[in-house]
Structure 1
Amino acid sequence: MANSESSTGLALDAASLMSIVLEGILYGFSVLMFIGTMWIFTYKRRVRDVNRPTIAVATLLFLLSTAHMVVNIIHVENGLVKYRDTFLGGPVAYFADLLQELFVVKNAILVLETLLGDGIVIYRCYIVWRSVRVIILPCIMWCGVAVFGVCMVYSMSQPQTSGSTNFFLNATSQWITAFISFTIATNLLSSGLLAYRIWMIERNVSTIHASKKVPILHVLVDAAVLYSAAACSSLISFICSSSGMYVMADLVIPVIPIAFYMVFIRIATNHNNQFHASTGGFGRSSRYPVQSLHTIRLDTQNSGISLGDSSKA
């Protein structure tokens, strides 16, 4: 993407400015959802009852997305303000320079957050299936995402021996394509296995229990579609040699935590609605509003298989 003549769409400086604006909007939503997630898992709960693993993962996602937002702001400010008159070639050449440290850091954060997001989905899949064999292939693919991600970041940090400054033609392009393709495949496979298991269990339960499970299935599918759509858009933009790749790659960063937070928030909200509906709106609110979230199960009379404690989701 370094060569603006070979790319289609926006100029690199305009694409970078658009990316920071759109990322900022989505980041704002992710912050609100992070606060909601923290409230759900800590409100009126004793310290020993707090779901520490979920809190830790949610916090780590928040820190990574915040770090990327800060680095991106500095990167855009450097290109459009600080070095616009001193960098040879101007802002367009600055944003096209793959060797810029901030650009490399941005992509390193992207790799870390992608690995964390894919790992969460794989773990949820294991919790539902309760079988290591089911997640063997997703785990192998997750390792592929890690390898390609590391190679991508390393390649970006090294001068291109071919001398090409085109982001879409140099050696980095193959690692980018492999990284995005593998993370899409890993997410779709893990989410598909997760949705299939829930759907199979749903077929064997009564109508009463089914009404509790449908929202769980819907929210997991929605989260998978949201992330996959963002990743696919990045891949398509890159294949088409479009500067929109800059925009979509930055938008993936806040989308990952949003997809994670929405699972817990929507399940908790759905349960509260069901609780008030079952009590006619006059029942006293549960002292621990998330307690039910930890015991949402997809039991069958014979199998006894459950979605599991949401602290493991």
Structure 2
Amino acid sequence: VVSAMLPDPGLRRRATLLDGFAAELAASCPGATLERVPVRRWADLWSRALLLTVPGSAGERSDGSVTGRLLPLGVDVQEHATAVQAQVHAVFEPADGGAPRLVRAGVSAPKPDTVVGAGLWQLLRPRMSLLGAVSEGRSMELDAMPVTAEGDLVWDDERARAGEPADPFATARVRLSAATAAPVVPLDRHPVRIAVPVLLEGYAAHSEEGGLAFDLAGRPLAVDTDRMPAAGPLTPEAVAASHACVGLLRWDAGEFLLQPLAVETTVRKKTVAVHAGAWAGGTTDKAGVRAEKAATDAVAVLRERAGRLLRK
């Protein structure tokens, strides 16, 4: 049922939630072995699933279309054992000269639990050309691309083409502060949904209570390195050595956290940018090539086994 729902954009949010919830329940069996039953979390997931069945509540309805230039800022990767999603956060510049907007473009795919790390991109690349542009550091020219009232692009490769080179840090420094965010529908007005693109510079990184934090004007801001995907070259070490960061400001456990999407660091007296989504469209980076090869081998084995089963 879930596999049939995932390809439909109108059912994808419900399918992903249901799939993840079912996987959590299955992994928790037998319940007697659990140290603590996450009653509030499971009740929240089930309530959310029921609310999403109300017509119009899922928020996928297109609210028109946009034409102009899309300037990617970074990629947020979310996954569980049977599904993966990549969400590109970007600044959109309308062709008519209007004010820039914050938008998102997401792509998701079902996956076997053995495909992890860089292998995730092999599942997502064929579904969205934007990932290639992110990897190459390019903008995208959009022509009548559908968009929801919340600023989510309903991606269609036929309505997009690769544009000129666009550095995410240049975009953040020049356009991010002027970009406006779309209003959030009432159902999604929950702190856990906060994910605001920000640019931070001039901070000092230090360890704090076993984690990493940025010192900004004498105030610490915790860095959520656990959210950084293994499917890219961005590491906690690179974040700790950085002097500029594009990330998502989030709220969790009663405090604001920063999820890094890209950082600028100094290597041999030169400024180098490291992006979480650098391998999204493929890479020539040695570490990325090795990870891709290992993932390709795993996918090939799975396809061969699936073919054998179908031939029986």
Band the TM-score falls in, shorter-chain normalisation: under 0.3
Higher helix fraction: Structure 1 or Structure 2? Answer: 1
Higher Cα radius of gyration: 1
Higher strand fraction: Structure 1 or Structure 2? Answer: 2
Larger RCO (CA within 8 A; separation ≥ 6) = 1
TM-score by length of 1: 0.24
TM-score by length of 2: 0.24
